[in-house]
């Protein structure tokens, strides 16, 4: 992993469509507004955008924590832009301030953490989990 400077910024844009709405993603009784999990996805993608150039080919950054407020509703047809700013780097742990705005106002803000992982080591752990007998996986 290369050194990731504090203040490194990334962004991600989403044009809100019907498949991004709470009424489609979560429950049809909910209003036709951007679903909170989709807003979080946009924020996480902004964080990835901020640090991707610092990762080696065999590294990835997995989300490990998120603490956000969804402040305002966004209907389909508007564009949402999320921004992530690196505020702390502690070894493999990266902390971001994240915000999201639609074309009218700020719709979300909070913090997000990602951890740098080695793909080979992750695959070894996943293979070991998959190899466990079904009875052992249930307990």
- The yes-or-no answer on residue 70 being catalytic is yes
- The yes-or-no answer on residue 8 being catalytic is no
Domain count, the chain: 1
Question: Can you tell me whether residue 55 is helix, strand or coil?
Answer: coil
1 belongs to a structural domain: no
- The yes-or-no answer on residue 44 being catalytic is yes
Selecting among 8, 20, 70, 74, the annotated active-site residue is 70
Structure tokens at 139: 């307990």
Give me the CATH number covering residue 129.
Answer: 3.10.129.10
Q: What pLDDT does residue 83 have?
A: 98
Q: What pLDDT does residue 53 have?
A: 96
Q: What pLDDT does residue 125 have?
A: 87
Q: What pLDDT does residue 2 have?
A: 80
Q: What pLDDT does residue 127 have?
A: 87
**Global pTM value:** 0.90
Q: What pLDDT does residue 134 have?
A: 66
Residues of the chain with confidence (pLDDT) below 50? none
63: alpha, beta or left? (left if phi > 0; alpha if psi -120 to 50): beta
Structural domain boundaries, residue 78: 9-138
């Amino acid at each position: 992993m290369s050194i990731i400077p504090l203040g490194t910024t990334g962004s991600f844009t989403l044009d809100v469509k019907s498949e991004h709405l709470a009424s489609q993603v979560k429950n049809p009784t909910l209003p036709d507004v951007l679903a909170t999990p989709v807003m979080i996805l946009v924020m996480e993608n902004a964080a990835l955008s901020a640090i991707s150039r610092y990762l080696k080919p065999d590294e990835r950054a997995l989300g490990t924590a998120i603490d956000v407020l969804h402040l305002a509703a966004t209907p389909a047809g508007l564009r949402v832009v999320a921004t992530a700013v690196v505020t702390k780097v502690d070894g493999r742990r990266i902390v971001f301030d994240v915000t999201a705005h639609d074309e009218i106002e700020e719709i979300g803000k909070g913090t997000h953490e990602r951890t740098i992982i080695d793909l080979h080591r992750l695959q070894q752990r996943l293979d070991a989990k998959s190899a466990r007998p079904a009875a052992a996986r249930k307990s």
